[in-house]
Chain A
């Protein structure tokens, strides 16, 4: 799996992973329960409309949470993710009947083969419109992972080479 993180074989602009997700109102209720974010704009149309929205929208943190998954699947080991950031630029409205379609494409944004790191840029759309800005995941190769982090996460793991 981490063989995919052969940075030398990548070029800026390469699409390394894609995935699409269908969100329904059920998805939002589940996320509310799991995260503890019970803002009613995520499950009540009347409240959403009363604060000037077109309708119920997905939690931004739900969109952030699912958008990184294709990158994790590609990298193989979650400890190789150093940093993940997004800007919430547009809400994802989730229709009561038809739900919403969120599509993710992960592209190489920047490469530093010598340092063993790459920045993966996520293009995330909701119902066809871009919903996240500056959505970036910084990943490192196993060789570039600090030994201390590997040890903390996985004492019994095959150790990452300590530099």
Chain B
């Protein structure tokens, strides 16, 4: 079943605010084998000029995940999750995420393409802080494998 081409251009509702906690940053940083004190030590982060612990660059995936759920669960999307493979991923930063940030995200489907039997769905999740300022945009292409 191909992905619904009408998804292209669709904008999903903004996600509910996600409050970035220190312990979540520490947990995520340890999980990606970070050794940077900025990810673990508040004093080190503040000495480097940040208000609080700094999240690793790929932490935005935690927020993006909530938007991708909206996409995968859209009843008319036609996306069979068991056939989904992550094709590529990109983060474009205005600034790093820090502990205390309250983040919301809005997903826009930028393109739906067919390549052979596969569908490629590219989406952009724009992540903003509580003031509405841009923090990072997470762009990913999901490959939905066709019947084999």
| Chain A residues at the B interface, C-beta cutoff of 8 Å | 21, 27, 30-31, 33-37, 51, 60-62, 64-66, 68-69, 72-73, 77-79, 81-88, 134, 146, 148-150, 152-158
Contacts and interface: CB of A to CB of B under 8 A. Distances in A.
B61 A61 contact: yes
A82 B96 CA distance: 9
Interface of B: 24, 27-28, 30-36, 38, 46, 48-51, 54, 56-58, 61-62, 65, 82, 85-96, 98, 129, 133, 139
Given A35-B62, A153-B98, A65 B32 contact: yes
Nearest to A36: B65
Question: Which among B28, B38, B49, B65 has the greatest number of chain A C-beta atoms within 10 A?
Answer: B49
Question: Which among B24, B34, B88 has the greatest number of chain A C-beta atoms within 10 A?
Answer: B88
B96 A78 contact: yes
**Is the contact region of chain B dominated by helix, strand, or loop, or is it mixed?**
mixed
Given A35-B62, A152-B94, A152-B95, A88 B88 contact: yes
Contacts of B51: 153-156
A2 to B, nearest CB: 10
Given A30-B30, A34-B31, A152-B133, A85 B90 contact: yes
A153 B96 contact: yes
Contacts of A77: 48
B98 A134 contact: no
Contact of B94 (A34, A87, A149, A155): A149
Given A60-B89, A69-B33, A134-B88, A84 B49 contact: no
